[in-house]
Amino acid sequence: MDNNRLKQFDMPGWLLKDERYCPQTDKDTFINKSILSVLSILSRIRAQSICKSAKYSVNAMFKVAFTFMLILLISFSRNFTFIVIINIYLISTLCLMDADVIVKILKISFVTTFFTFVVLVPSAIWGSSFNTIMITTKEFATITAVSILSHSTRWNSITGALKCFFVPNIFIVVLDITIKYIVMLGDFALNMLYALKLRSVGKNKSKNTSVSGIAGTIFIKSKEMAEDMYAAMECRGFTGEYNVYNGFRFNIADVIYIVINIGIIITFMYFERI
């Protein structure tokens, strides 16, 4: 009992003083914003890597080829009926996808289509309303087609598919590494941003300069990582050439997809009187 009381008297005065520390507010929304934007990109790529593969999924090679063809046909077409048919086809594929994917795709399509429309409003007022409708519907179809491709196919299978179209190896290497490194470097940047946010309490003048520090560190880090990785790949026998090993087999989904696309080509020829 006595001991306790003694200890209480031993406490230094400044410790017992009631202190209310309110750190001065500082403008650090830029940190939060960059954290959020890095996170959103990372989560999109991560969501891609756990992309569930359906039992019967169309081969990525066909998807890439026919989407490319579809975009070409859309831009060549001068017939509104053809564009309407393509839009109905795209919407009906869209309705089979998951709800949140549909929302993502439609958001992009509608926003871009709306801006195109706004840009074209003067031309509609001056009399060429047909072109305005034509271009906006074409835009909607193109964006939706590309979004459906990118949301229904994993990115590494798209790069794999590029190999079949005689895209130079160096291009595929760069693309592949870029996608992988966006994740790793993004993680790295995220950790540094967290550290910056946690350690700077109150007003801190050097906060802005630390951001350039983060950028510089990431650059150095990326250079180191790239060299390390290339060395590691060479050690494992990588000669700069990509070979696609896939036991490719036609399944029923491929056949249906090809039939649909041949149908699209025939419709295009019918409407363009080729």
Partner 1 sequence: MHIPDNYLSPSTCAVMGAAMVPIWTISVRKIKSEVTKEKLPLLGIGAAFSFLMMMFNVPLLGGTTGHAVGGTLLAILLGPYSACISVSVALLIQALLFGDGGILAFGANCFNMAFVLPFLGYFIYKFVKDRAITEKGEYLGIVFGSYIGINVAALCAAIEFGVQPLLFKNAAGQALYSPYPLSVSIPAMTIPHLLIAGVVEVIFTVAIFSFIKKVSPGTIYEGAKRKTKAIYGLIVVLICLTPLGLLATGTAWGEWGADEINEVVSGGSALGYVPEKMANGFSFKAIMPDYAVSGLPEIVGYILSAVAGVAILIILFKVISTFKKIKVGDSIG
Q: Output the CA angle 252-89-155, nearest 5 degrees.
A: 65
Cα–Cα distance measured from residue 187 to residue 182, given in angstroms and rounded to the nearest whole number: 8
Is 99 a binding residue for partner 1 by CB under 8 A? The answer is yes
Kindly state the smallest distance separating residue 15's Cβ from partner 1, in Å: 45
Helix, strand, coil share of the chain (percent; to 5): 75, 0, 25
- Burial per residue of 216-247, b for 16 or more beta-carbon CB atoms within 10 angstroms, e otherwise: eeeeeeeeeeeeeeeeeeeeeeeeeebeeeee
Q: 34, 48, 57, 79: which one contacts partner 1 (CB under 8 A)?
A: 79
Contact call for residue 95 and partner 1 (CB under 8 A): yes
220 lies in the site for partner 1, by CB under 8 A: no
CA distances from 252 to 1, 58, 59, 158, 263 (A): 85, 9, 11, 20, 17
Q: How far apart are CB 117 and partner 1 at their closest, in Å?
A: 15
Asked if residue 94 binds partner 1 (CB under 8 A), the reply is yes
Residue among 80 and 242 whose Cβ is closer to partner 1: 80
- List 81, 129, 169, 246, residue binding partner 1 (CB under 8 A): 81
* 119 touches partner 1 (CB under 8 A): no
Amino acid at 109: S
* Distance of closest approach, residue 103 Cβ to partner 1, in angstroms: 5
Q: Catalog residues that contact partner 1 under the rule CB under 8 A.
A: 79-81, 84-85, 88, 91-92, 94-95, 98-100, 102-103, 106, 271
